[in-house]
Amino acid sequence: MRPWILLLIGLLALAAAPTAHADEPARTAEDEVRDHAARFAVPATAAVVVRPDGTVATVLHGRTSDGLPTTPDTRFRIASMSKAFTAVAVLRLADEGRLRLDQPVSELLPGFSTAAPRGRPITVRDLLAHTSGLAAADVDEFALPPPGSAQEVVDGLAGVPPAREPGVAHEYLNAHYTVAARLVEVLSGRPFPDHLRNAVLLPLGMTSTVVTARCDDAVPGLAHGHVGALGVQVAVPEIPAFCLGDAGLVTTAADMTRWLRFQLGDGAPLLRPDTLRASHTASPGTAGRYGLGWSLRSGEDGPRVLHGGLVSTYTSAIEFSPGEAGAVVLTDTGDVTGSPGTLARRLTTLAGGGAVGPWPSEPKLVLDRVLAGLTVGAAVALAVAVARAPRRAAGLRGRRRPVSSPLLAVAVGIALLPTIWALFSGPSLTGWVMALWLLPTAAVLAAVLVLGGTAALAARSRARRALFRGAVR
């Protein structure tokens, strides 16, 4: 059988494999969490559901990499869900009259500038709504070694030219919230973790939540998260990166219950009611997609406020209907196949009395299966190339050699990694590693192509040498 046929068979067999229980809709929050964990091999999940009548359900599943059962006090990294906390810290300062949202950041933060200011200056609102005009492609957010402080991030932006006028378009950029954290430090006169803890976390009763400066900072009681694909999860350390203000919170389901109730309007009055509503309202220039620290979505189930969180070993999500119901999902895996955002959306729908259908297809699961199929097919084809090397050398004796398939495999394997690098994160070593951890099936395919292709080339070279020696004798 020709190698390309083996490749196609492997691809189709794995890509077409059905997802277990895909047609069995869950009817309760417990069923949803259990089915989600089973379907996507999530090691530990903690979910919180707040219903319109104020009742709360906490659903727990699995064990952490330390072997401990998940509890309401199990700690999880929540990554970019941290941004909404930073936004509340800034909005509290606005409520206190210490800043204005439409005030230029440069008036409040000495030294803040960009390489080529365009039109009006970047405002505080621009930071919170991701409308500064700075492009993610121009900011290396995963530099190694990571910055040592928020001020270093601010200084680094001085050499970055905005890609467009401030306020005209939304482009998500983690550095916006690191600048916001530095702004809080300057106006409060305290390190950002101290201010956030005293001004936001403690008033809400979130006593178990920790603010870290780096994504990989060790936190007592926090186990290693996982990376994986296709049902295989491996506990690993988090990748080093600077996360102050944009992704550094470590928290628990119990604390996130208090946070969700506050966002639903049933908690400590940290913000004026109109300020809280404004944070859940589309900001100018975002095309209705982003408020102040929150993503926004409208659909058949009405307006929703939401945000996800992703580092290489943890994913999380929150979604709610303002003033009604909501849900928080915390998981200890960076595998985004089983998106916590989908689970949070379904739990919110159930909490509001709606019905949910079958789980939607997960694009990454299909992609993982395609890549796994390609890997199996490539491994078989290259193994055949190694085994047939002597016969091929004899058949081509004295003839012009065609283009070498193993050489092509090596070239594709080498090119695959930089391509993923560019697609996920741009020119950043840490971003490249994170991309590979989020899509390990691509890394395995690249390794098979390079190693298998090299082995086939070596086998063919040995076979040609053997023929040459035989002819000389």
Sorted by where each begins, the domain ranges of the chain are 3-13+363-472, 29-351
How many Cβ atoms from other residues are within 10 Å of residue 149's Cβ?
17
Residue with tokens 């009611």: 273
Q: Indicate whether 4 pLDDT > 70.
A: no
Span 306-332, average pLDDT: 95
- Name the band, by pLDDT with cuts 50, 70 and 90, for residue 140: confident
Amino acid at 15: A
Q: Rounded to the nearest 5 degrees, what angle is found at the Cα of 183, between the Cα atoms of 182 and 184? A: 90
Amino acid at 248: G
Span 361-366, average pLDDT: 76
pLDDT at 437: 67
**DSSP 8-state assignment for residue 138:** G
Which of 17-26, 181-190, 276-285, 394-403 has the lowest average pLDDT?
Answer: 17-26
Do residues 59 and 338 lie in contact, with contact meaning Cβ atoms separated by under 8 Å? no
Query: What average pLDDT does the chain have?
Result: 86
Instruction: For 59, list phi and psi in degrees, rounded to 5.
Output: -115, 125
Q: Indicate whether 412 pLDDT > 70.
A: yes
Instruction: State how far the Cα of 273 lies from the Cα of 266, in Å rounded to an integer.
Output: 11
- Choose the most confident range, by mean pLDDT, from 188-192, 230-234, 392-396: 188-192
Instruction: State how far the Cα of 388 lies from the Cα of 362, in Å rounded to an integer.
Output: 39
Q: Indicate whether 46 pLDDT > 50.
A: yes
Tokens matching residue 408? 């092509």
SS3 content of the chain, % helix, strand, coil (to 5): 45, 15, 40
Would you call 263 exposed, middle or buried from its count of C-beta atoms within 10 A (0-12, 13-18, 19+)? Answer: buried
Cα separation of the two ends of the chain? 35
Q: Indicate whether 67 pLDDT > 70.
A: yes
pLDDT at 5: 34
- What is the pairing mode between strands 232-235 and 226-229? antiparallel
pLDDT at 430: 55
Amino acid at 345: R
Q: Indicate whether 117 pLDDT > 90.
A: no
Which of 1-5, 105-109, 259-263 has the lowest average pLDDT?
Answer: 1-5
pLDDT at 2: 40
Span 335-361, average pLDDT: 88
The dihedral sign for the CA sequence 351, 363, 297, 249: positive
228 membership: H or E segment, kind and range: strand 226-229
- Choose the most confident range, by mean pLDDT, from 9-13, 52-56, 110-114: 52-56
Instruction: State how far the Cα of 461 lies from the Cα of 80, in Å rounded to an integer.
Output: 52
Do residues 81 and 294 lie in contact, with contact meaning Cβ atoms separated by under 8 Å? no
Span 253-279, average pLDDT: 93
- Name the band, by pLDDT with cuts 50, 70 and 90, for residue 211: very high
Residues 6+ apart with CB under 8 A from 411: none
369 membership: H or E segment, kind and range: helix 363-387
Which of 115-119, 120-124, 382-386 has the lowest average pLDDT?
Answer: 115-119
Tokens matching residue 444? 């395995």
Instruction: State how far the Cα of 192 lies from the Cα of 244, in Å rounded to an integer.
Output: 8
pLDDT at 18: 44
Q: Indicate whether 398 pLDDT > 60.
A: no
Tokens matching residue 307? 């945000």
- Name the band, by pLDDT with cuts 50, 70 and 90, for residue 307: very high
Q: Which residue has the higher pLDDT, 267 or 254?
A: 254
Instruction: State how far the Cα of 384 lies from the Cα of 406, in Å rounded to an integer.
Output: 11
Return the percentage of the chain with pLDDT > 70, whole number.
Answer: 85
pLDDT at 417: 65
Pick the CATH number of 29-351 from 1.10.287.1080, 3.30.70.360, 3.40.50.170, 3.40.710.10: 3.40.710.10
How many Cβ atoms from other residues are within 10 Å of residue 22's Cβ?
13
Return the percentage of the chain with pLDDT > 90, whole number.
Answer: 57
Instruction: State how far the Cα of 42 lies from the Cα of 287, in Å rounded to an integer.
Output: 34
How many Cβ atoms from other residues are within 10 Å of residue 37's Cβ?
20
- Name the band, by pLDDT with cuts 50, 70 and 90, for residue 429: low
225 membership: H or E segment, kind and range: none
Q: Which residue has the higher pLDDT, 393 or 195?
A: 195
The dihedral sign for the CA sequence 341, 346, 347, 348: positive
